Chain A
Amino acid sequence: MKLFLASLALLSGCALPAFQSAERPLGPGEVRSAAEAQETLVVGETTKSDVRAALGPATTVDFASGYEVWVYRQPPVSPAPGAELVLLFDPGGVLAKMRVTPISDPA
């Protein structure tokens, strides 16, 4: 688990200020690379606590059903578009689904 958290921490906007210095600082709910962050997560295993510890606070939407959607955004770095990492947690707090979507236009 320590290795897992450490690897996620490398991707987190709040965990590595020196890495961020070359680009604008990341805000809450942002990551440098949504795809790399996704690679470190495991559906059916990774928990909300794991993700929060590694990536920091997310944009969250919780539903009456107990499911929660968490979003981490990768800001665009010209000319590359941004992306979003979307996570679905089941009512037990375990990662149920995830996806990375390139974002080329506003919602």
Chain B
Amino acid sequence: MGYVPIFLIFLLAFLPALATAQNDAVVVTALRNPVNKSYKKMVEGEQLFNERREALAPRATLRFKLIPRKPDVSMDGVRLEVSSDSVDIPLKVEPDGTFTLKHDAKALKENARVVPNRKAGTMTWRADVRTPGLPPNVRRLGDLRMECEVGMESGLISDYPPGLFGWLDELLPRGPTYCHRDLPRYLYFAERPLWSVTLVDGERRKVLPVDRLYAGATRDPDWKDRIRYCDCEAIVDRTYFVPLGDANWPDDTLVVLEYM
């Protein structure tokens, strides 16, 4: 398999920044406003988690997570609500940026949005699936597989302007099946800048190539010209890909993160 051009590397993480060149204040006026997400899609992501949990991550819990896109963005005081014409439901955001949804039939019917009180381009979104009992720098591959499927189902990383990457729409399925590819470019974020990522399955260990870190920047001499289109823009040193679709690595594989 040949190397994929960098714009494919970013293809799933392509950025909300395209939709708003300026850091405009949050205004829920456009269907694809990059700062907010579809409540219905996120509920569908939860449903997928419940359906797939036994297979991928039987002991895990699901939360959603807001991740700062800039190093100096504080999560203090972040407020989040499910908002539609006649519904405003506040969601509690924990200090680590995670939250869960509240279910409301009226919000679903009115196609509500999940809206933070932050400017566009300051935060991005991911599913956060965690099996308890693991050290902070160790993830479980099944949890990450589930995060990808829920994230894709929920539309957390596909809010780039329609048409701009239309050819990508044809090239790649936009749903959870994308996560079943050997090397999907679904970006994960570590808590701190990464030095290495190692897969551990019993006695078998594999340090991932550096191209699986830093959003693939080591394969693209022009990465700085393109990084602004990635929701990893200012935290590229915390990003990594894992071989989600590689069945040689079972769900119980540990993904060990070593920080800089």
Contact = CB atoms under 8 A, between A and B. Distances in A.
Contacts of A96: 260
Contact of B207 (A59, A63, A64, A99): A99
A65 B2 contact: no
Interface centre among A69, A88, A99, A101 (most CB of B within 10 A): A69
Interface in A63-107: 63-65, 67, 69, 71, 84, 86, 88, 96-97, 99, 101, 103, 105-107
A16 B53 CA distance: 56
A27 to B, nearest CB: 12
A65 to B, nearest CB: 6
B193 A86 contact: no
B247 to A, nearest CB: 14
Interface residues of A, number: 19
Contacts, number: 56
Interface centre among B195, B208, B210 (most CB of A within 10 A): B210
B223 interface: yes
Contacts of A61: 214, 217-218, 223, 236
A99 B196 contact: yes
Given A69-B218, A106-B3, A63 B236 contact: yes
Given A64-B234, A65-B237, A67-B237, A107 B3 contact: yes
B63 interface: no
Contact of A63 (B208, B209, B212, B237): B237
Contacts of A105: 1
B169 interface: no
B183 interface: yes
Given A64-B71, A64-B234, A106-B2, A97 B218 contact: no
Interface of B: 1-3, 71, 183, 193, 195-196, 207-212, 214, 216-219, 221, 223, 234, 236-237, 241, 260
